[in-house]
Amino acid sequence: MDRLFAPWRIEWVERDGTDDIDGCPFCVLPERADAREANVLAETDHAYVLLNNYPYNPGHVMVIPDEHVGDYQALEATVVSDHARLKQRTIEAFEAGLGPDGVNTGLNLGAASGGSIDGHLHTHMVPRWTGDTNFMPVTADTKVIVEAVADTYDTLHAAFREQAGATVGDSGAVHVEF
Ligand SMILES: [Zn+2]
């Protein structure tokens, strides 16, 4: 039986439990003082890249506008552009750091789309390898996942840091200039 590819059905899970985030995690995490602890890899003026704590595959990230908006049509043109260009840079980081054979990417919009957080839109980006299967089954040990995610964070962070115009901000996230 073929495996259904459905990263949008995987809940976003916090590394250290859920009691330290008050409100929308996609609003709170980019404000954290320690980007590595928050899994924030890179940022632009209007969007950022968050490594998924419960990856479908190694390198599974979400590219997220800073604004708390669930309606894609409501995003301003500058934000749409920033978000799109950051997706291009994310593919570049995937290629440099992870060497995938392909990438799946998509937005979940609306209650019926299966997304876990629908008030703050986010694009899933998942590297794929020929013949890959789900990286971690749902029942996998949480500690194994956390350690694997930390390794992937370091690999992708280094790849973003090598990009044209990249600088490292106070939080440790890579700031990308276009
Ligand atoms: Zn939000």
- Quick one: pLDDT band at residue 51, thresholds 50, 70, 90? very high
DSSP string, the chain: -PPP--GGGSPP--TT-STT--S-HHHHGGG-S-HHHHTEEEE-SSEEEEE-SS-SSTT-EEEEESS----GGGS-HHHHHHHHHHHHHHHHHHHHHT--SEEEEEE--SGGG--S--SS--EEEEEE-TT---SS-TTS-HHHHHHHHHHHHHHHHHHHHTSTT-EE-TTSPEEP--
| pLDDT score for 9 | 46
CATH code of residue 15: 3.30.428.10
Range in 3-7, 62-66, 106-110 with the lowest mean pLDDT: 3-7
In which domain, by residue range, is 33 found?
7-175
Residue 1 lies in a domain: no
Q: Which residue would you say has higher pLDDT here, 17 or 174?
A: 174
What are the catalytic residues? 122
Query: What's the CA-to-centroid distance between 130 and ligand 1, angstroms?
Result: 34
53-57, 68-72, 116-120, 160-164: which is most confident: 160-164
Ligand 1 centroid to residue 131 C-alpha, Å: 35
Q: Give 122 Cα–ligand 1 centroid separation in angstroms.
A: 10
pTM of whole model > 0.95? no
pLDDT > 90? residue 10: no
Q: What's the mean pLDDT when you consider all of the chain?
A: 84
How many separate domains does the chain show? 1
